[in-house]
Chains A and B, each alone.
Chain A
């Protein structure tokens, strides 16, 4: 085996009851490289990394670290071999401080095994400073935003100075600034000799940061390709996979072009086994007249917000994390109080207190937190399908019509292409993409007049994304206006007819589709340059 290979997986196979997650997968990580791992949900990326991290044991195959075969009986064994994994699910203790979380279980001690608080403080500050993080080590983790928590999770893994660092979807909750900071820190670790495995659904990041990329599909290794010309500098992505192409994002230093011929399209094709073309689709029907207005809405995190929506229109709502979009959505939907503002639908003012009234009035809300607030993970697919519209499945006496429920659930399953062995399957067992499709099925099932979709494709692979976009387009074609809240700029640009940008709780600017570009949206959201002056 080559001397510069730090981690090698050969013929790894892993089977769970009913599904072969990994089928003779080979994977090789070279010293000092950033190796991206991509694939659809269910392709096996997370399973493979759970094996690397010692959480699962492979049914067949071998793992070699630094050329020597190893067997992990636990995560601890993997850590001892210098492997540090940051999983998607956060594992921080919310009631402890940043410092205590970073050094969890390895707090510096003094005589008598007592925790040396001043050393803990000092070493945490050094670490935070080294990675350019403006946080106090004493802050309790529960006071941090999800984005900040994710950063601490990564810092925790980096503090082990591992030989191999695995990052599983590290940027799903991060702002653009945090992401760039993460990439710079990854560069530093690379320079110090750490090798990094980087799993992401965001293919543009792959081009920015990876040296090589491996594609998995259905538990098998499809191909490993070089991701960039050997120039070594972090570059900017230049991908034109989206029809109607958006210009390249400016900024960054010496641009390194992706390896000859490698585009997002090419990677996607290997991931799904077919070309997806323009996943955002095209508008299928005319936009109607205005029928939904919000005027002067205000609450804790936003003020003076006004917007209007026309029938069949997709209104994108862009903004940085923390700009108040979700808070606005929840207030419009009636689950959090509005201190000021008027909402009118089809000319009638809505007095919304509670989701029940909102639903009855014709509003629908797809939450950004599908696991914690959107779905009932311990219940079945059929039970979830009918949740927002429970009353429609009861007869005059209030008895549930189970047959109608079954019919509706089966129809939803096929229409939304939800992959599940049966409608009785527990929802927690579905993949992320199918869970999201189920959430969409729940809310499209009540035939809303207005749908607020908050991050409808977060954590969803590209195949399921294109399905969800098609479904949203279908909904719009029936005359339903959609407010699309998303942190994925390409998604907003690809789907929206009009884009509003929120900044620090206010509407900062509005762009019709033709005028919107990544640069002006980002500039407006961040309040820089000449776009949308404050």
Chain B
């Protein structure tokens, strides 16, 4: 469906809810949880659930930026590499004695810089997002391999590791940070005029230009934001695992894009919500967990995730087709 449908009282409540992707996803999630609970009630402990959430929290953080970007019609394949490089650079800085706050700043600034590079090339030079970020993906991952020479980075200071491994009120930090950012991100995209512009840009770039929206500036901002949030995830992951490997973040971009699209975004632009992206991440995680529970071979994971994506998009396309008059 298009931009968040707010304020329309026309159709009946049930139909409007069904149109909302988030609502449908919630139902499906509850259904899966229900099935799992029936199969093995012992699985539904707070510990297990938070372990599942913890694993997906990094994905969800990246998903916030990716949702905003997809809404505006953009696309970023380089986020996984950015997660890896920013984590590594921060780690290297820490290992060289840089104080924690400064090291964090360096990592975040790097993420923003990568996003800026993407944004400038796409908005000002005009190379399409797919090719630009595909190239950037290679460049950034390559930089990571060069500076680490393929070795893992260990020996991170405890103060730093606390950021990723600490708990507050019994909930791990990454989960809290993820939830906070998701709430902020969802509100921003749903309610603020500044972010509403992205829906228009995604709807029709030319019409957005004529309507007075500064499309170039917004695009650059969107890519910087995406890079910055990827850096947050990267730094957080480094803190959580206490080490950084060369493969950190590999394939993350595809998982995030899949989750965001399941959550309601479209590659054409003009659609999507951050809440939907989070639900998409949760759904993907739950499916994998449920499969583990039912002793399904782990090799089926990739297939099932791919199938979920196609089914989600298929349902969306078919329901749209029925509703519009040819």
Q: How far is the CA of A398 from the CA of B194 in the complex (A)?
A: 7
Number of chain B residues whose Cβ lies closer than 8 Å to a Cβ of chain A: 34
Q: Which residues of A have CB within 8 Å of B167?
A: none
Q: How far is the CA of A423 from the CA of B202 in the complex (A)?
A: 20
Q: How far is the CA of A238 from the CA of B192 in the complex (A)?
A: 57
Check A378 against B270 for contact (C-beta < 8 Å). yes
Check A356 against B3 for contact (C-beta < 8 Å). no
B113 CB, min distance to chain A CBs, angstroms: 26
Q: Which residues of A have CB within 8 Å of B210?
A: 333, 335, 355, 365, 367, 373-374, 388
- Chain B window 7-18, contacts with chain A (Cβ cutoff 8 Å), 1 for yes, 0 for no: 110110000000
Q: How far is the CA of A402 from the CA of B6 in the complex (A)?
A: 7
Give chain A interface residues in 433-449, CB to chain B under 8 Å.
Answer: 442
Check B325 against A403 for contact (C-beta < 8 Å). no
Check B211 against A388 for contact (C-beta < 8 Å). yes
Check A355 against B203 for contact (C-beta < 8 Å). no
Q: How far is the CA of A14 from the CA of B215 in the complex (A)?
A: 42
Given known contacts A373-B204, A376-B200, A380-B2, A402 and B209 CB-to-CB distance under 8 angstroms = no
Q: Which residues of A have CB within 8 Å of B197?
A: 390
Stretch at the interface among A15-23, A87-95, A118-126, A206-214: A15-23
Interface check A383, CB cutoff 8 A: yes
Specify the chain A residue showing the minimal Cβ separation from B271: A378
Check B3 against A400 for contact (C-beta < 8 Å). no
B10 CB, min distance to chain A CBs, angstroms: 4
Q: Which residues of A have CB within 8 Å of B214?
A: 354, 356
Q: Which of B2, B10, B209, B212 contacts A383 (CB 8 A)?
A: B2
Q: Which residues of B have CB within 8 Å of A383?
A: 2-3, 199-200, 203
Q: Which residues of A have CB within 8 Å of B124?
A: none
A433 CB, min distance to chain B CBs, angstroms: 16
Check B212 against A358 for contact (C-beta < 8 Å). yes
Q: Which of A359, A387, A406 has the most CB of B within 10 A?
A: A387
B180 CB, min distance to chain A CBs, angstroms: 19
Given known contacts A16-B326, A388-B211, A394-B193, A375 and B204 CB-to-CB distance under 8 angstroms = yes
Q: Which residues of B have CB within 8 Å of A374?
A: 207, 210
Check B2 against A426 for contact (C-beta < 8 Å). yes
Interface check A112, CB cutoff 8 A: no
Q: How far is the CA of A442 from the CA of B200 in the complex (A)?
A: 14
Interface check A1, CB cutoff 8 A: no
Q: Which residues of B have CB within 8 Å of A372?
A: 204, 206-207
B232 CB, min distance to chain A CBs, angstroms: 23
Given known contacts A355-B209, A422-B10, A428 and B324 CB-to-CB distance under 8 angstroms = yes
Interface check A140, CB cutoff 8 A: no
Q: Which residues of A have CB within 8 Å of B211?
A: 355, 359, 387-388, 390, 442
Q: Which residues of B have CB within 8 Å of A160?
A: none
Q: How far is the CA of A372 from the CA of B212 in the complex (A)?
A: 16
Give chain A interface residues in 325-373, CB to chain B under 8 Å.
Answer: 333, 335, 354-356, 358-360, 365, 367, 372-373
Check A359 against B3 for contact (C-beta < 8 Å). no
Q: Which residues of B have CB within 8 Å of A56?
A: 326
Check A355 against B212 for contact (C-beta < 8 Å). yes
Given known contacts A18-B325, A372-B206, A379 and B2 CB-to-CB distance under 8 angstroms = yes
Q: How far is the CA of A244 from the CA of B203 in the complex (A)?
A: 44
- Chain B window 28-49, contacts with chain A (Cβ cutoff 8 Å), 1 for yes, 0 for no: 0000000000000000000000
Q: Which residues of A have CB within 8 Å of B200?
A: 376, 379, 383, 387, 390
Q: How far is the CA of A313 from the CA of B212 in the complex (A)?
A: 25
Check B212 against A388 for contact (C-beta < 8 Å). yes
Q: How far is the CA of A421 from the CA of B7 in the complex (A)?
A: 15
Give chain B interface residues in 164-205, CB to chain A under 8 Å.
Answer: 191-194, 196-197, 199-200, 203-204
Q: Which residues of B have CB within 8 Å of A375?
A: 204, 207
Q: How far is the CA of A405 from the CA of B6 in the complex (A)?
A: 10
Interface check B106, CB cutoff 8 A: no
Q: How far is the CA of A125 from the CA of B5 in the complex (A)?
A: 54
Interface check A391, CB cutoff 8 A: yes
A132 CB, min distance to chain B CBs, angstroms: 35
Q: How far is the CA of A71 from the CA of B130 in the complex (A)?
A: 45
Q: Which residues of A have CB within 8 Å of B117?
A: none
Q: How far is the CA of A372 from the CA of B208 in the complex (A)?
A: 11
Contacts A16-B325, A387-B211, A399-B191 aside, 14 further interface pairs with beta carbons under 8 A come to: A373-B210, A374-B210, A376-B208, A377-B203, A387-B200, A390-B193, A390-B197, A394-B192, A394-B193, A403-B7, A424-B8, A424-B10, A428-B324, A442-B211
Hey, which bits of chain A sit against chain B, CB under 8 A? Answer: 16-19, 56, 333, 335, 354-356, 358-360, 365, 367, 372-380, 382-383, 387-388, 390-391, 393-394, 398-400, 402-403, 405-406, 421-424, 426, 428-429, 442
19 contacts between A and B (CB under 8 A): A16-B325, A56-B326, A335-B209, A358-B212, A365-B210, A373-B209, A378-B204, A378-B270, A379-B203, A380-B2, A383-B3, A390-B196, A390-B211, A390-B212, A391-B193, A398-B193, A400-B196, A405-B7, A406-B7
Hey, which bits of chain B sit against chain A, CB under 8 A? Answer: 2-3, 5-8, 10-11, 191-194, 196-197, 199-200, 203-204, 206-214, 268, 270, 322-326
Instruction: Give the 4 A-B CB pairs with smallest separation, nearest first.
Output: A394-B193, A376-B203, A356-B212, A424-B8
